[in-house]
Amino acid sequence: MATLDIKDMEVVYEHPVSLVDDNTHYCPGCTHGVAHRLVAEVIDEMGIIDKTIGVASVGCSVFAYNYFDFDFVEAPHGRAPAMATGVKRVRPDRFVFTYQGDGDMLSIGAGEIVAAAGRGEKITVIFLNNANFGMTGGQMAPTTLPGMKTTSSPHGRDVEQAGFPIRACELLATEEGASYIVRRSLHDAKNIRKAKKAIRLAFETQARGLGFSMVELLSTCPTNWHMTPIESSIWLEKNMVAYYPLGDYKVHQTIQDLKV
């Protein structure tokens, strides 16, 4: 029987340099780990690990800086776009990105994100939308779907009482300062590959100083959705994609013409 010699094999898949080789605190089946990896792969591929400053937010990803292996600051709840603005304005030659959830960015931080996009702030926002406040145990978020049960909408989100979910991409794409606004999903391999390309293009937008860029990533939260990881992915595809259509909401012409 022929023996397998690893030395002769081509390495096609490695742990990203930009990601610490460690266990995360994320729940099994949560897509934060996937999103972290995609961002890390993009930073590796662009060779910008020593030129990047991340801004963590408040929510499950509050400890993102424990997993990314480069400089990070940790913002107050919702204020990451303002803090990133401060960093970017005094270090315009650095890549600055925020990593925010839907509670952080669309609830308490709605003012900061709208203002940063309007200013055309040359930062990148990685926005994870899992339709609930994950860290505090699954309360209703601005993104919680109509009828969706959470710990603070126990009978399902009643739009008469709690209003309707906010669509971030549609909202921010109306702003002149925004140059790259797209929505992707992390529910299967094909969509994960598309998500990675979008993250790359968002950072390319920043590299060219074209203005504000954001990638919304529809994400799962099996623990608070009370589903298995597989059920979560199926539920996401069926329900979240229906309310939050995937696609490009605004892409600067230079980025449309870019081949990566």
Partner 1 sequence: MARELWKGNDAFAEAAVRAGLQAYFGYPITPQTEALEYMSSRMPELGRVFLQAESELGAINMVYGAACAGARVMTSTSSPGTSLMMEGLSYIAATEIPIVLVDVVRGGPGLGNIAPSQGDYNQIVHGGGHGDYHPIVLAPASVQESVDIVYGMFDLVEKYNAIGIVMTDGSIGQMMEPAEMPPMLETRMDFPDWAVTGGSGEDKTVLTSIYLQPEDMEKTNYRLMRRWQEIERNEVRFKEYFMDDAEIAIIGYGSAGRVALSAVRAARAEGKKVGLLRPVSLSPFPKAVIYDVAKQVDHILVVEMNSGMMLNDVILATREQANIEFYGRMGGIMPFPDEIYREIDRIYKNNPSSDVHPRDLWLDRMESIVA
- Binding residues for partner 1 (CB under 8 A): 17-18, 49-53, 55-56, 62-63, 65, 69-76, 79, 82-91, 94-95, 111-112, 114-115
Residue with smaller CB distance to partner 1, 76 or 156: 76
Residue with smaller CB distance to partner 1, 91 or 193: 91
CB of 83 to partner 1, least distance (A): 4
CB of 213 to partner 1, least distance (A): 18
**H or E segment to which residue 201 belongs:** helix 189-207
93 phi/psi in degrees, rounded to 5 = -85, 0
Beta-bridge mates of residue 181: 214, 250
CB of 18 to partner 1, least distance (A): 7
Which three-class secondary structure state does DSSP give residue 193?
helix
194 phi/psi in degrees, rounded to 5 = -65, -35
Alpha carbons 240 and 103: distance in angstroms, whole number: 16
> Nearest to residue 57, comparing CAs of 20, 39, 32, 83?
83
Alpha carbons 20 and 149: distance in angstroms, whole number: 35
CB of 21 to partner 1, least distance (A): 12
CB of 126 to partner 1, least distance (A): 17
Residue with smaller CB distance to partner 1, 117 or 246: 117
Alpha carbons 45 and 242: distance in angstroms, whole number: 33
Residue with smaller CB distance to partner 1, 17 or 234: 17
> Beta strand 212-218 with 178-185: parallel, antiparallel or unpaired?
parallel
Residue with smaller CB distance to partner 1, 25 or 226: 25
